[in-house]
Structure 1
C-alpha cells in the first residue's frame, strides 16, 4: 500500500526544505531567495536555489531538483522508502504500519547485516593460528593492536567456503550472501568465498555501516594486489570515501587525500586523523562533492610513482572545478606516506604537509621535470608550456606572481613571460568566442531523455510545460479547463503523466510535490520543480492558459495531418474530426 496523504503531509510539515538542506549546504538568504553551492555538481558561483513556499529545490546549473524527499534520496543515495524513513526518524514521526511494500529496505538491512557479520568473522580470523601471518604482517607495518581494532582489520582464510559456511550457519540465505558480493558463483554455479588468504579492510559508510571490503594479497603470493567489493545495492565505490566516517570528525581544517588503505591507516595512527582515500578507483566528481561537505581544503598526497602522478593529475582536474582549495604534497625519493612516516616519523611528515604547494606550483614542478633547464632549448620548451598553464589562471595578480617566480628562476624577463601568457589567453578567448558564436547561430536541439518527443514537437512541449506550470501554481484554473484539454492531447509522454497526476491532485484543490515524489524518479522530480517554479503572472494566467491550449490543439492537428499516410482513411478522418470538435468547444 502507498503511504497515506496524511502521513506525507505531516512529514513535509516537520521537515522544511531549508532545515534539511542547511545541514548539507551552506545557505545564503537574500530577501526571499535562498541559495548555495550545489552539492550535486562542482561550481564556484551558487546556482542551487530553495523555494520554501512549496518546499522544493532546484539547481540551475545541473538541473537537479525536487522536494525534500528527493533531496535526501540524491544526497544520501537512498531509494524512496529509505529516504522517507530517514526523514521520519529525524523528525520523530513514526512510520505507518499499514503493510506498504518495504522490500527494498529489508533487503538493504539484510545485506548490511551480512557485511557486519563478515567483518566480525574476518577480524576474529586474524586472532587465530591460520591468521597469524596476516597479523604479523600488520605488526611489521608497525600497526598497533588499537589501530587494527579501530579500523576492524581482518584476515580471510585460505579457503573457498569458510565464510560461506559461517554466514549460512548464522541463518543468512545463499542468494543474499552472493548479492552482498562476499561470495560469488563459479562457472559451474557453485558458490565460493570471493576473498581468501587476504588481509581484509572493511569499508564503512558515514552512518557506521559496513558496506564493502578491500582485500590485499598476502606478501610473496602472486595475483591481483587488491580485490575490492563490486558495486552492490548498498555500495557504489564512486560515491564513497575510505575512512571518511572517522575523518569527518577531525579538528583539522582540511582533509588529506591519500592513495590506499595502508597510507590512510598509518596516517591516522600517526595523528593525522583527517586522512581519507578514494577506494582504489579513479577519483570521481561524486567523491569530490562528498569531501566538499566536510572541508574547504584538500591536500592531495598520492604515491610518487608514475601511476600515482597520473592519479594526482586526475584528482586535481576533478577538484579544480569545486569550491575547495587544493594543495599537493610531494614526497622525494618515491616514497608513499606510510613509508615516509615509518622512516622519518610524524613530525617530518607534518613539516612536509605544511609546506605543500598549490595545484599551480605542482603542475609547474611536473613540467619542469620534463626538460633540461640547463640548455636554452629546454628553457624555451618549458616556458612555452608554463605560459599556457599560467594563461588558464583567471586572476591577473596570480599570473603576475608566477611570472615573476619563473623569471627569477630562469633568469628571463618577467615582461616577456607575461606577454606570451597574455597572447595565449587572447587566442583561447577568441577560439571560445567563435565556438559559442557557432553554437548560437546554428543551435542544436539536444536529445532529452525525459521528454524525447520535444525534439520533434518543441512548440507543443513548451505549451504543455506552460499549462502544467499554471495548474501547479493556480489550482483554480482547473475550472477554466472544463475538459478542454485531455491527457491524449499531450504529445510528450512525461508531460502527459504529470498532467494526469496534477489533475488527480487538484480534485482536492491543492498541488503538493511531496504527495507525488514516490511516483517519479529523482531526475523527473527535478524537471517537475523546474516547470513549477517558472515565473508566471496571475493577472495573465487565464489568457495564457487559453493560448497554450490553442497551440497544443494546433500542434496535435498538424501531427494528425502529417500522419495521413500512416493511417487508414476512415481512422484518419475520424481522429481529425474529433480533434476539430474539441477545438471548437474550447475556443
Structure 2
C-alpha cells in the first residue's frame, strides 16, 4: 500500500472489505428477497419494511423516509458519527490503514488538541474535587447524600473560582488558546483577546458521547456561591458545536449499554430532568437513567433511544413545566414506536431529592406504577373541572385521536382506541373517524389547541434546476481543485444562490488564497455536520465522471437556469398558481447527471 492515496481509492478499499449487509444487520433484521435484503427502517418508524440493502452495489435505501447511501453513510447516520470517525471505525474493521491522503490536509491538529484539552480538563476538575479548594463541593455532595462511589463513577469535579485556573494549566500542557476555545472550555469576551475560563466556581459534570469520549461539561453553582450571588444561571453547559452537539447528547449515555446489560432485556430507560437526578438514580440502583442537557427532548434524542429497543419511562418533575415537557417528549417517542410511560412524582419532588431524603422505597413505588402515556392523558382530561363541557370533551377526543393515529403499532392503536372510547364515552366508530382525519390535524399541546391544514408548497422546477447546477459546480471543484485556476475569473464572479453552496465556494476561495488544499477531503474535515455535511456526502457518493467537462457544462448552463429561476420567483409573487410554460420548462438547461439512477 502506498503512503499516499486519494479519498475515493481509500473508501473503495474499505467498502470492498466490509460487507454492508453485515454492518446493517447488526442494527436491522434483514430478510432476503431476490438480490435485495429488506427490513424495518432504523431511521424512521414504520410497520411495513421499506428499507432495503443491495449488497452487489454496496448501498442501502429507504423508500419511506428517503435515507440512503453506502456503508459509511449508514454508520454515520446510525451512530451519530462524523465522516472521519465512521471512516476510521470501518477502516479498523477492514484492516485498512488510513494514511495521509494526497492533496489533502492532515487531520485537524486544532480539533485533536481540543479533544486532548477536554480529556485533560476532566482529569484536572476531578482531581481538584479532592483538594482544599473542593471542600465546599464535597460538603454539598455529602449534604445531598451522594456517595463517594458516585463521585468517582461519574468523574465529578470542581472548577475553582480562581481566574484562569484551567486555561493556565492547559497552556502548561501544550494546549493552545484556540484549542481551548474550540473545546468550549474558554472564550474571548467580545472586543478583547484576554482568554477567560468558561467554568469557574462550579461543581462539574463531565459529558461523554456513546463511546465514552469526553465532549464537554455541565457546571452547577453551589448554594451561596459567587455565581449565585451574581444571579448567574444554575447550570452552565459547554457551547453547541461540532464537539458538543447538545441536541444529540444525553448525560449518562456512555453508561447506558452497561446498565442495560446489567438489568436485562425488559429494563426501561429512565429519562429525568437534571444531572444530579441521573447520579442519584444510579446510586439507588437504576443504572439506565439519562438526562437531556438543559434542553427539551429532540428528535435526535428519540432516535438515539429507539436504537436500544427498550421502553422509556419519563421521570420528570411534578410541576406543570415537568408535565408539559413529558407530553412533548412522549409525543415524539410514540411517533417513533418507542413504548413510553410517565412516572408521576409528588408535587415539588424530583428523583434526586427523594433519594437524598432516604425515600428510595417510595420512589421505587412511583417507578413501578408508571402510567401508560394515553391513560395519563385521559386522566388529565377527565379530571378537569370543566370536563363535562362538550367543547372540552371534543378537545380531549381530538388529542387522544392524534396519539392513536401516530403510533406505528396497530395492536397498540386498537387497545388505545377501545380504552379511550370507554373513558370519553365515545363509540369506537366515532373515535375511528376522528383518527382517520387526524393526519389533517396538527399536534395540540395539553393547554393549547390549534389546527391548521396548509397544503404543501408547489414544486419549483427552475429553482431546483438552479440548485442542482450549483451543486455540480461545487462537486467538480472539490473533486478536482486544479480546475479552479483555469476558470478563476468565472468562479470568482459567480453569484451563488444556495446558502450551502455559497458557503463552500467562499471556503474554497479562501483556502486557495492561503495556498491550502480545498478538495473534498479537506471539506469533509472542515464541515463535519449540518447541511454542509449532507451536501458533501452527496458529492462523495456521486462523484463526477469527467470533472473538467462537467464544470464547463455547469458554468455554461448557469446563466439560463438563474434567469428562469428568477422568472419563476416573480411569477410566484404575482400569482401563486401560475407556472412556467412548457416551452420555458424545456428551456431549462439539461442538468448534468452525476449519479447512478436509483431503482
TM-score by length of 1: 0.71
Matched, 1:239 2:248: yes
User: Which residue among 145, 156, 159 is the counterpart of 1:156?
Assistant: 159
Matched, 1:20 2:23: yes
The verdict on how the C-alpha distance between 1:199 and 1:61 changes in structure 2, with shifts beyond 3 A counting, is same
C-alpha displacement of 1:137: 0.5
**Which moves more between the two structures, 275-284 or 328-337?**
328-337
3-state SS of 2:333 partner: helix
Matched, 1:193 2:202: no
Contact 1:63/1:527 (CA < 8 Å) preserved in 2?
no
Q: C-alpha separation between the residues in 2 aligned to 1:232 and 1:430?
A: 36
C-alpha displacement of 1:107: 3.4
The Cα offsets for residues 172-206 of structure 1, whole Å up to 9 and x where unpaired, read as: 11111111111111232211111111110000112
The verdict on how the C-alpha distance between 1:287 and 1:105 changes in structure 2, with shifts beyond 3 A counting, is farther
Contact 2:105/2:521 (CA < 8 Å) preserved in 1?
no
Question: 1:501 corresponds to which residue?
Answer: none
User: Which residue among 209, 216, 233 is the counterpart of 1:212?
Assistant: 216
C-alpha displacement of 1:46: 3.6
Q: C-alpha separation between the residues in 2 aligned to 1:308 and 1:162?
A: 37
Question: 1:109 corresponds to which residue?
Answer: 112
Larger relative contact order (CA 8 Å, sep ≥ 6): 1
Q: C-alpha separation between the residues in 1 aligned to 2:453 and 2:239?
A: 45
The verdict on how the C-alpha distance between 1:450 and 1:348 changes in structure 2, with shifts beyond 3 A counting, is farther
3-state SS of 2:357 partner: helix
**Which moves more between the two structures, 225-234 or 518-527?**
518-527
Question: 1:327 corresponds to which residue?
Answer: 341
C-alpha displacement of 1:74: 3.2
Contact 1:58/1:529 (CA < 8 Å) preserved in 2?
no
Question: 1:308 corresponds to which residue?
Answer: 322
Larger CA Rg, structure 1 vs 2: 1
Question: 1:570 corresponds to which residue?
Answer: none
Contact 1:319/1:326 (CA < 8 Å) preserved in 2?
yes
User: Which residue among 155, 165, 180 is the counterpart of 2:183?
Assistant: 180
User: Which residue among 257, 265, 270 is the counterpart of 2:284?
Assistant: 270
Alignment of 1:423-438 (within 5 A): 424-425=434-435, 428=438
C-alpha displacement of 1:427: 5.7
3-state SS of 2:193 partner: coil
Q: C-alpha separation between the residues in 2 aligned to 1:310 and 1:265?
A: 24
The verdict on how the C-alpha distance between 1:199 and 1:420 changes in structure 2, with shifts beyond 3 A counting, is same
Q: C-alpha separation between the residues in 1 aligned to 2:277 and 2:119?
A: 24
Contact 1:182/1:194 (CA < 8 Å) preserved in 2?
yes
Contact 1:42/1:285 (CA < 8 Å) preserved in 2?
no
Question: 2:257 corresponds to which residue?
Answer: 248
The verdict on how the C-alpha distance between 1:331 and 1:214 changes in structure 2, with shifts beyond 3 A counting, is same
Stretches of structure 1 lacking an aligned partner (at least 5 in a row): 408-413, 465-491, 498-515, 533-551, 567-578, 580-587
The Cα offsets for residues 370-425 of structure 1, whole Å up to 9 and x where unpaired, read as: 4256xx54xx4553333223333243443122322x26xxxxxx4x4546535544
Q: C-alpha separation between the residues in 1 aligned to 2:11 and 2:440?
A: 53
Matched, 1:351 2:365: yes
User: Which residue among 239, 260, 272 is the counterpart of 1:230?
Assistant: 239
C-alpha displacement of 1:519: 8.5
Contact 1:44/1:323 (CA < 8 Å) preserved in 2?
no
C-alpha displacement of 1:352: 2.0
Matched, 1:385 2:395: yes
C-alpha displacement of 1:212: 0.5
| Structure showing the higher helix proportion among its residues | 1
The verdict on how the C-alpha distance between 1:191 and 1:115 changes in structure 2, with shifts beyond 3 A counting, is same
Q: C-alpha separation between the residues in 2 aligned to 1:28 and 1:448?
A: 41
CA RMSD in angstroms comes to 4.0
Alignment of 1:492-511 (within 5 A): none
The verdict on how the C-alpha distance between 1:12 and 1:26 changes in structure 2, with shifts beyond 3 A counting, is same
Q: C-alpha separation between the residues in 2 aligned to 1:212 and 1:447?
A: 44
The Cα offsets for residues 24-71 of structure 1, whole Å up to 9 and x where unpaired, read as: 334343343323343444545443321211111222233332222222
User: Which residue among 51, 59, 62 is the counterpart of 1:48?
Assistant: 51
Question: 1:288 corresponds to which residue?
Answer: 302
Contact 1:47/1:59 (CA < 8 Å) preserved in 2?
yes
Matched, 1:125 2:135: no
C-alpha displacement of 1:283: 0.8
User: Which residue among 33, 36, 41 is the counterpart of 1:38?
Assistant: 41
User: Which residue among 509, 523, 527 is the counterpart of 2:534?
Assistant: 523
Question: 1:140 corresponds to which residue?
Answer: 143
Matched, 1:84 2:84: no
3-state SS of 1:199 partner: strand
The verdict on how the C-alpha distance between 1:284 and 1:447 changes in structure 2, with shifts beyond 3 A counting, is farther
The Cα offsets for residues 446-483 of structure 1, whole Å up to 9 and x where unpaired, read as: 589975457x99xxx9xx9xxxxxxxxxxxxxxxxxxx
3-state SS of 1:273 partner: coil
3-state SS of 1:248 partner: helix
Stretches of structure 2 lacking an aligned partner (at least 5 in a row): 406-412, 443-450, 473-495, 502-519, 525-531, 544-552, 568-588, 590-599
C-alpha displacement of 1:281: 1.0
Q: C-alpha separation between the residues in 2 aligned to 1:134 and 1:444?
A: 59
TM-score by length of 2: 0.70
Q: C-alpha separation between the residues in 1 aligned to 2:212 and 2:313?
A: 25
The verdict on how the C-alpha distance between 1:185 and 1:4 changes in structure 2, with shifts beyond 3 A counting, is closer
Number of residue pairs the alignment of both structures matches: 476
Q: C-alpha separation between the residues in 1 aligned to 2:165 and 2:244?
A: 23
C-alpha displacement of 1:518: 9.0
